Amino acid sequence: MLKKIITVISTFFLIIFISTYYDFFNFNFNEDQLKSVKFIFKFYLIISSICFLLGELTKNYSQIDKVWSLVPIFIVWYFTLSSNFNNRMTIMSILVTIWGLRLTYNFSRRGGYSIYFWKGEEDYRWQEVRKSLTLFKSNFNWSLFNLFFISFYQMGLIFLFSLPILSAWQGSNNPLNIYDYIISFLMLVFIVLETIADQQQYNFQSEKYRKIKNGEKLDGMYVDGFISKGLWSLSRHPNFASEQMIWICFYLFSISATGQLINWSISGCLMLIILFYNSARFSEEISSKKYPKYYNYQKRVPMFIGIKKN
């Protein structure tokens, strides 16, 4: 697990270093854009600090999860407002709002929020991370991990994968074209697929725990312990796969606006892919220990996208 964390963090700094140190990308922001970037950066520092402090005070380290689907909505609409509602940016903001509201609802029905905002469900993986590494048995070391990775790294990632809208603002002189409409359609398709995957998982988990609570006999997938039908028969993490594709599509808007296949705002979706890959691997390490049949499921079904084996 430590190697995964080091890989994720080192990749983050490497991409940022390459993007800023070498003259590969156009960071020439106008006065309004630069002013907006400075405001958003201050907002990043404030919200990251709040999440860190709440995590330390409550010992619930999923504070970032509570705002994961909300912060991008604020970011994109702030830039869109600052641009005087550029057409392309308005479409991008509407799509992010649809994504964010749906994800917020899904997180909420799983107990992610509480009337006491500092409470709510905690991601079980944080406890597994702490148990798996002796380094984190120290409260001080864990607090440092909470500060730099859970809070500031993850919030930084949220800001970075939202920033193609700033790149689109740089290319605002280029009008909407057919590619923007194709990208919008694709992004909506992946939002729908993510919705279906989450609903299938929610239905399965709800029924599994209902059966357990009522003392009913478990059979099929319920005795296996994990879902393996529907979209989950084609991908072991169809929700993760869709989430990554959503933000890749979001990046494509910046290409349509600037005409640059690779521009500075690509860093966010690249790091999101790396994070999801390592997160999925860690989740599967836990699942394979809990469920004996999960190994065969791994051999048969691709992690994200691929060819299913019979």
Q: Residue 29: its pLDDT value, please?
A: 92
DSSP label at residue 305: S
Q: What is the pLDDT of residues 185-231, one digit of tens each?
A: 999 999 999 999 999 999 999 999 999 999 999 999 999 999 999 99
How far is Cα 75 from Cα 99, in angstroms, rounded to an integer?
Answer: 14
Backbone angles phi, psi at 152, to 5 degrees: -75, -35
Q: Residue 112: its pLDDT value, please?
A: 83
Residue 10: count other Cβ atoms within 10 Å of its Cβ. Answer: 10
How far is Cα 149 from Cα 92, in angstroms, rounded to an integer?
Answer: 28
How far is Cα 197 from Cα 285, in angstroms, rounded to an integer?
Answer: 21
Q: Are 171 and 257 in contact (CB under 8 A)?
A: yes
Q: Are 89 and 83 in contact (CB under 8 A)?
A: yes
Residue 35: count other Cβ atoms within 10 Å of its Cβ. Answer: 12
How far is Cα 233 from Cα 16, in angstroms, rounded to an integer?
Answer: 37
Nearest Cα residue to 86 out of 171, 179, 186 = 171
Nearest Cα residue to 164 out of 86, 81, 263, 42 = 263
Q: What is the pLDDT of residues 12-37, one digit of tens each?
A: 566 656 555 554 556 789 999 999 99
Nearest Cα residue to 255 out of 246, 264, 242, 245 = 264
Question: Token digits for 286?
Answer: 């836990």
How far is Cα 13 from Cα 95, in angstroms, rounded to an integer?
Answer: 29
Domain ranges of the chain: 2-300
Q: Residue 116: its pLDDT value, please?
A: 73
Q: What are the per-10-residue average pLDDT scores of the chain (310 residues)?
A: 60 60 67 96 97 92 93 98 97 98 94 74 80 85 93 95 97 96 98 98 96 92 95 97 98 96 92 93 92 94 82
Helices (H), the chain: 2-21, 31-58, 63-67, 71-82, 87-109, 124-132, 139-145, 154-162, 164-170, 178-213, 221-224, 238-258, 266-290, 294-300
